[in-house]
Structure 1
Amino acid sequence: MKRTTFFTLNTLGAKRGGLVKAVIKRANAVAAAEPDRAVHLLTLGLQTQIDSVREEMIQLDLLNPRVQVTNLIHTLGQQKANEKQTKSRFLKRLNRHFIVFDDVSRSENDSYRVFDNGVYVQYVRFDAMDRLVFIDYFSDTRHRLKREEYLENGQLFQIIHYSTTTNKPVSRQFLHGNGTCYLTLWHKMNSVDWSHLFYFGKNEQLQFNDPAAFYTFALNQLLAQYPAVLLSSEFRDRLPNLPKRNLDAVVLDVSHSDIRKIAFGHSNHFVAPFDETASISGVWNTLFERLGEWSAIITATARQATHMTQKFGHDSLFHSIPHAFTNRVAGNIVSDAVNPNRFVVVSRIQVKKDVAESIRVMRQIVDRNPHAFLDFYGFGYNDPLEKELHALIKELKLTEHIHFKGFVTDMQEAYAGAVATLFTSQSEGFGMAILESMSYGIPVIAYDICYGPAEIIEDGVTGRLIPKRETQQLAEAAIDLMEHPETRRTMGLRAVGALEPFSDQQYETNWVNLLDKLDSSMV
């Protein structure tokens, strides 16, 4: 019997980073290879219209239609039948009692400001299918008091109450289809972190002072419906919805008569300098302190699995399954015209990604070639780190040489015609951007860090490996490829030809074999 399989994420969407992409890739592969296995992506964060997210991703060919998407908080409530209210009917009713203005700042023409005798009282938004998404309510002094969020079926699902001084959420109510509340969530004062949750069940009322305990309770409720399950723990981060204990603790505390629990190591498990000479990061403590309770621990590189077994033993517990990236146009792009001045970075703006280092490298490249430029694909969080990055670009006089392109789903747009991809992370679990770039015939010049670059790149053959923090060496390697186009072309061709260990077929086989083993009564 195939276990019903749940791969966990915090949120799901078309525009997400490498971890989310990797989990989606796995779910798609397993669903395609094993039609008799039920595969779920289970999200923990607050996503009201999760069905629309799934629809969009299927339409974009990012998600296999066999993969089910479920939000854990949704599973505790009871939905009612579809009673979608049309946008025209809703606006007609509003106009009978209020004055309604289009929000002209949004080109989508989907949002409206509502006034009562000249006082701004509501802000209303619809989605692309004219379904009501939310309504904001305001005080006479234009402070947001609360937001009502709606499901695709027209049901009021969540009410968020806001502080009038900070405009941050203070509490949230989650509602059944009949309008009664089944869950109240409190935020810490002046913070988005969760603090207390109150569950109002039919036969029990429970208080949770730790969100991790709430999630374990909700998982127990959900998984009890299935005779045999597999549940994954995918991230160790401290998040607003898991501020005290991380997902490993949540998963390990789940009780079920026939369950297999797996953990995937998407990231490096050391603190700075992020190699085997360093201490173990505290966010991994739960995973390692309770090793005997896992059915399997998977890493993306054999090197990381080896480091773990050397430290903790349990050799049979650790498995290495590299990520995969199969490019449908591999090889074709290699023959595309190369812009001899163009370099690429594909990354989030995050501390361990150290995008600022690629900016310092570009300063040295531009010193040699004033026409050189860098196209940056990815996203930031509009936080101090992103502001510091823009300040560094200005300080190094690179404003005309650094182009921010945003997030793209068509990776050919990012890589086509580049001399090379610069990869300057301090710490990785794998480095999907390396695989993506090589699959398009674009060599990668990377720091040799834990983990990923050395497991994917053969130095001088399919790309370049540079000792970490050697900025000048990395810049010189980039300049060398820029000035020797035939060397660069040969390296790109070899990069494409070196990806068999990372093929979809090999990836699928690895995961099916592991899951089949976990399906059995003995692990």
Structure 2
Amino acid sequence: MKRTTFFTLNTLGTKRGGLVKAVIKRANTIAAAEPDRHVHLLTLGLQTQINSIREEMVHLHLLDQRVQVTNLIHTLGKQKPNDKQTKARLLKRLQRQFVIFEDASRPENDSYRLFENGVYCQYIRFDADERLVFIDYFSESRHRLKREEYLEHGQLFQVIHYSATTNKPVSRQFLNGDGTCYLTLWHKINSVDWSHLFYFGKHEQFQFNDPAAFYTFALNQLLAQYPAVLLSSEFRDRLPNLPKRNLDAVVLDVTHPNIRKIAFGHSNHFVAPFDETATISGVWNALFKRIGEWSAVVTATPRQATHMKQQFGHDSLFKSIPHAFTNKAAGSLVADAVNPNRFVVVSRIQIKKDVAESVRAMRLIVDHNPNAFLDFYGFGYNDQLEKDLLALIKELALTDHVHFKGFVTDMREAYAGAVATLFTSQSEGFGMAILESMSYGIPVIAYDICYGPAEIIEDRVTGRLIPKGDTAQFAEAAIELMTQPEARQAMGLRAAGALAPFSDQQYETSWVNLLHELDVSTH
């Protein structure tokens, strides 16, 4: 019997980082290879419009039609469509009581402000298909009191109540199709972190003071309907919806009688300096303290699996399956004309990614060639780290040399025609951007870190590996590729031709074999 397979994510969307991309790739691969296996992406975060997200991703060919997408909180309630919440019907009814103004300040959104006797009282938004998304309610002093969020089929799904002083959520109610509440969530004061959850079932009611315990309960409820399941734990982060214990603890506590549990190591498991000389990061404690309870622990590199086995034993548990990136157009793209001044970075602005180091290297590169520039593809979180990066660019007088291009799904736009990709992460689990860049015939200059670069790049053959933190040598390698176009082209061609170990076929075979092992295993 093939186990119904659930790969866990916190949120899903078209604009997500490497971890989400990797899990989607795996789900797509398995669904295509084994059409008789039911494959689910299971999200834990609050995503009301999850069905629309799935539809968009299928339409953009980012998600296989056979992969099901489910939000765990949705599974606890009972839905009921409401066709009265379409734009035309709703506005017609509201016009009897309110004066309605379209919100022209945000033309990308179909939104309206409602006034009653001159007092602003509601704000309404519809999606591109004229379906109601949410309604905000305001006090006479224009403080937001609550928000009602609707599912795509018109059902009121969530009511969010806000603090009158901070405008942050203080509680949420999740509703069945008949309007009854099945779950109430409290936030910590002045925080987005979850603190308490109250479940109102038909025959049972529970209070949870730890969101992790709530998620285990919800998973037990969901998985009980399947005779044999496989459940993954994909991330270790402390999140607002998991502020105390992380996903590893949630998955390990699930009590299904016929379950196999796997953990995937998308990230480095050490603290700084992020190598085998360092101590284990605290977010990995749940995984390693209960190591014998897993059916498999999967890493993207053999080196990380070796380090784990050396410290924790249980050698047979550890599997290494590299990520895959097959670029069908690579053969034609490596011949694209190279702009001798252009470098690229593809990354989130996140502390371990250390994109600020690529900016420091660019200062040295620009000192050699004033026409050199860096195109940055990715996104930040509008946090202090992003502000510090912008300040550094200004401080180093690189404002005209660093161009922020935003998030792209067509990676040719990012890579094609670049001299090289700069990869300055301090810590990785693999480094998908390396594989992507090489598949387009663009060599990568990377620091030799744990994990990924040394497992993918052969120094001076398919790219460059630089001792971590040596900014001057990193910049010298970039300048060398700029000034030696023939050598750079040859390196790019070798890079594109060196990806057989990371092919889709090898990736598919490895995952299908592992799942078959777990289908029949007794642990």
Give the shorter-chain TM-score range. Answer: over 0.9
Residue 169 of structure 1 pairs with residue 169 of structure 2: yes
* Structure 1 residue 416, shift from structure 2 partner: 1.1
In structure 2, what residue type is equivalent to 1:352?
A: K
Equivalent residue, structure 1, for 2:19 = 19
* Structure 1 residue 164, shift from structure 2 partner: 1.0
In structure 2, what residue type is equivalent to 1:303?
A: R
Does the C-alpha gap of structure 1 residues 109 and 311 become closer, same or farther in structure 2, counting only changes over 3 Å?
closer
Equivalent residue, structure 2, for 1:148 = 148
Deviations 1:349-392 (A, max 9, x none): 00000000000000000000000000000000000000000000
Deviations 1:20-65 (A, max 9, x none): 0000000000000001100000000000010000000000000000
Q: Distance in 2 between matches of 1:521 and 1:386?
A: 46
Deviations 1:94-150 (A, max 9, x none): 222111111112223511111111111111000111100000000111111000000
In structure 2, what residue type is equivalent to 1:65?
A: Q
Residue 194 of structure 1 pairs with residue 194 of structure 2: yes
Equivalent residue, structure 2, for 1:469 = 469
Q: Would you say the 8 A contact 2:109–2:125 is kept in 1?
A: no
* Structure 1 residue 82, shift from structure 2 partner: 4.8
Map 1:47-126 onto structure 2 (within 5 A).
47-83=47-83, 85-108=85-108, 110-126=110-126
3-state SS in 1 of match to 2:73? helix
In structure 1, what residue type is equivalent to 2:129?
A: M
Deviations 1:141-198 (A, max 9, x none): 1111000000011000000000011110000000000000000000000000000000
Equivalent residue, structure 2, for 1:513 = 513
3-state SS in 1 of match to 2:242? coil
* Structure 1 residue 86, shift from structure 2 partner: 2.2
Deviations 1:63-114 (A, max 9, x none): 0000000000000000013525321221122222111111112223511111
Equivalent residue, structure 1, for 2:266 = 266
Map 1:269-348 onto structure 2 (within 5 A).
269-348=269-348
In structure 1, what residue type is equivalent to 2:42?
A: L
3-state SS in 2 of match to 1:331? helix
Q: Distance in 1 between matches of 2:155 and 2:474?
A: 55
Q: Distance in 2 between matches of 1:84 and 1:227?
A: 39
Deviations 1:430-473 (A, max 9, x none): 00000000000000000000000000000000000000000000
In structure 1, what residue type is equivalent to 2:169?
A: P
Q: Distance in 1 between matches of 2:335 and 2:115?
A: 59
Q: Distance in 1 between matches of 2:258 and 2:83?
A: 39
Q: Distance in 2 between matches of 1:214 and 1:324?
A: 34
Q: Would you say the 8 A contact 2:84–2:90 is kept in 1?
A: no
Q: Distance in 2 between matches of 1:423 and 1:134?
A: 41
In structure 2, what residue type is equivalent to 1:29?
A: T
CA RMSD of aligned residues (A): 0.7
Map 1:374-453 onto structure 2 (within 5 A).
374-453=374-453
3-state SS in 1 of match to 2:477? helix
Q: How many residues align?
A: 523
Q: Would you say the 8 A contact 1:121–1:138 is kept in 2?
A: yes
Q: Which runs of 5+ in 2 are unaligned?
A: none
Taking structure 2 as the reference length, the TM-score comes to: 0.99
3-state SS in 1 of match to 2:323? coil
Q: Which runs of 5+ in 1 are unaligned?
A: none
Equivalent residue, structure 1, for 2:127 = 127
Q: Would you say the 8 A contact 2:86–2:154 is kept in 1?
A: no
In structure 1, what residue type is equivalent to 2:184?
A: T
In structure 2, what residue type is equivalent to 1:494?
A: R
In structure 1, what residue type is equivalent to 2:153?
A: N
Equivalent residue, structure 1, for 2:494 = 494
Q: Distance in 2 between matches of 1:107 and 1:340?
A: 39
Q: Would you say the 8 A contact 2:197–2:209 is kept in 1?
A: yes
Equivalent residue, structure 2, for 1:247 = 247
Q: Distance in 1 between matches of 2:522 and 2:92?
A: 63
Q: Distance in 2 between matches of 1:481 and 1:192?
A: 47
Residue 460 of structure 1 pairs with residue 460 of structure 2: yes
3-state SS in 2 of match to 1:335? coil
Q: Distance in 2 between matches of 1:517 and 1:431?
A: 27
Q: Distance in 2 between matches of 1:115 and 1:328?
A: 55
Q: Would you say the 8 A contact 1:265–1:297 is kept in 2?
A: yes
* Structure 1 residue 331, shift from structure 2 partner: 1.7
3-state SS in 1 of match to 2:412? helix
In structure 1, what residue type is equivalent to 2:136?
A: D
In structure 2, what residue type is equivalent to 1:44?
A: L
Q: Would you say the 8 A contact 1:80–1:155 is kept in 2?
A: yes
Q: Would you say the 8 A contact 1:84–1:153 is kept in 2?
A: no
Q: Distance in 1 between matches of 2:310 and 2:52?
A: 45
The structure 1 segments of at least 4 consecutive aligned residues displaced by more than 2 Å after TM superposition are 81-86
In structure 1, what residue type is equivalent to 2:36?
A: D
3-state SS in 2 of match to 1:339? coil
* Structure 1 residue 522, shift from structure 2 partner: 2.9
Percent identical: 83
In structure 2, what residue type is equivalent to 1:74?
A: H
Q: Distance in 2 between matches of 1:275 and 1:467?
A: 13
In structure 2, what residue type is equivalent to 1:416?
A: A
Deviations 1:393-418 (A, max 9, x none): 00000000000000000000000110
Q: Distance in 2 between matches of 1:245 and 1:75?
A: 22
